[in-house]
Structure 1
Amino acid sequence: MNYFQPKPSTNFNVTVDIPGSKSITNRALILSALSGKNVTLRNILLSDDTKYMIEALKALNNDIELDLQNKTLKIKGNKNPKFENLEIYIGNAGTAMRFLSSYLATGTGSAVLYGNARMNVRPIKDLVDSLTQLGVKVEYLNEVGFPPIRITANGVSAKTVEIDCSKSSQYISSILMASPNFKSPIEIKTIGRVVSKPYINMTLKMMKDFGIQFLEKDNSIYIQPQEYSPSEYLIEGDMSSASYFLAMALISNSTVRLNNFFKNSIQGDSQFLNVLTKIGLKILSFNETNITVQGVENYNGIELSMNDIPDVAQTLAAVALFAETPTKVWDVENMRIKETDRISALKNEILKLNGNFEEFQDGFLITPKPFTEYEGEFLETYDDHRMAMSLTLIGLRVPNIKILDPNCVSKTFPNFFEEFNKIYLGE
Structure 2
Amino acid sequence: MDIIVRPTPELKGEIQALSSKNYTTRYLLAAALAEGTSVVRYPAHSQDSDAMRRCIADLGAALEETDDQIVITGFGGKLSPVKELNVGNAGAVLRFLMAIAALSPEITFVNTYPDSLGKRPHDDLITALEQMGVQVEHQNGRLPITIRGGKPKGGSITVSGEVSSQYLSALLFLTPLLEEDSEITVTGDLKSKVVVGQTLEVLEQAGIQVEAAPDYTLFKVPGKQKYQARTYVVQGDYPGSAAILAAAAVTRSDVTVHRLEERSKQGERAVVDVLQMMNTPLRHENGSVRVQGNHQLRAVEFDGDAATDAVLAMVAAAVFAEGTSRFYNVENLRYKECDRITDFVTELRKAGADVEEKRDEIIVHGKPFGVEGGATIDAHYDHRVIMALTVVGLRARNPIVIKDAHHVAKSYPQFFDHIAALGGSVEWVKE
Alignment TM-score, normalising by the size of structure 1: 0.94
Q: Which residue of 2 aligns with 1:79?
A: 76
Distance in 2 separating the partners of 1:128 and 1:270: 31
5 Å-filtered alignment, 1:102-181, equals 102-105=99-102, 107-115=103-111, 116-117=113-114, 118-140=116-138, 143-181=139-177
Instruction: Indicate the SS of the match to 1:139.
Output: strand
Q: Would you say 1:213 and 2:212 are equivalent positions? A: no
Q: Which residue of 1 aligns with 2:334?
A: 336
Q: Which residue of 2 aligns with 1:93?
A: 90
Q: Would you say 1:251 and 2:270 are equivalent positions? A: no
CA contact (8 A) 2:331 2:360 kept: yes
**How much does 1:85 deviate?**
5.6
CA contact (8 A) 1:85 1:109 kept: no
5 Å-filtered alignment, 1:263-412, equals 263-287=262-286, 289-398=287-396, 399-412=398-411
**How much does 1:192 deviate?**
0.6
Distance in 1 separating the partners of 2:373 and 2:291: 29
CA contact (8 A) 2:58 2:82 kept: no
Q: Would you say 1:235 and 2:231 are equivalent positions? A: no
Distance in 2 separating the partners of 1:245 and 1:120: 29
- Which residue identity is paired with 1:242? S
Q: Which residue of 2 aligns with 1:48?
A: 47
Structure 2 CA distance for partners of 1:153 and 1:372, relative to 1, 3 Å: closer
Structure 2 CA distance for partners of 1:82 and 1:425, relative to 1, 3 Å: closer
Unmatched segments (≥5 aa) in structure 1: none
**How much does 1:282 deviate?**
2.8
Distance in 2 separating the partners of 1:358 and 1:147: 31
**How much does 1:212 deviate?**
1.7
| Equivalent residue for 1:202, pick from 178, 182, 198 | 198
Instruction: Indicate the SS of the match to 2:89.
Output: coil
RMSD: 1.7
Q: Which residue of 2 aligns with 1:6?
A: 5
**How much does 1:11 deviate?**
4.3
Higher mean C-alpha displacement, 289-298 vs 30-39: 289-298
Unmatched segments (≥5 aa) in structure 2: 426-431
Q: Which residue of 1 aligns with 2:28?
A: 29
Distance in 1 separating the partners of 2:322 and 2:338: 29
Instruction: Indicate the SS of the match to 2:65.
Output: strand
**How much does 1:295 deviate?**
2.2
CA contact (8 A) 2:235 2:260 kept: yes
Q: RCO higher in 1 or 2 (8 Å CA, sep ≥ 6)?
A: 2
Distance in 2 separating the partners of 1:178 and 1:281: 43
- Which residue identity is paired with 1:253? R
- Which residue identity is paired with 1:227? K
Aligned residues: 419
- Percent identity of equivalent pairs: 28
Distance in 2 separating the partners of 1:274 and 1:114: 40
Alignment TM-score, normalising by the size of structure 2: 0.93
Deviations 1:285-319 (A, max 9, x none): 511x3222222331211122211222222111211
Distance in 1 separating the partners of 2:284 and 2:266: 20
CA contact (8 A) 2:262 2:284 kept: no
Distance in 2 separating the partners of 1:187 and 1:391: 43
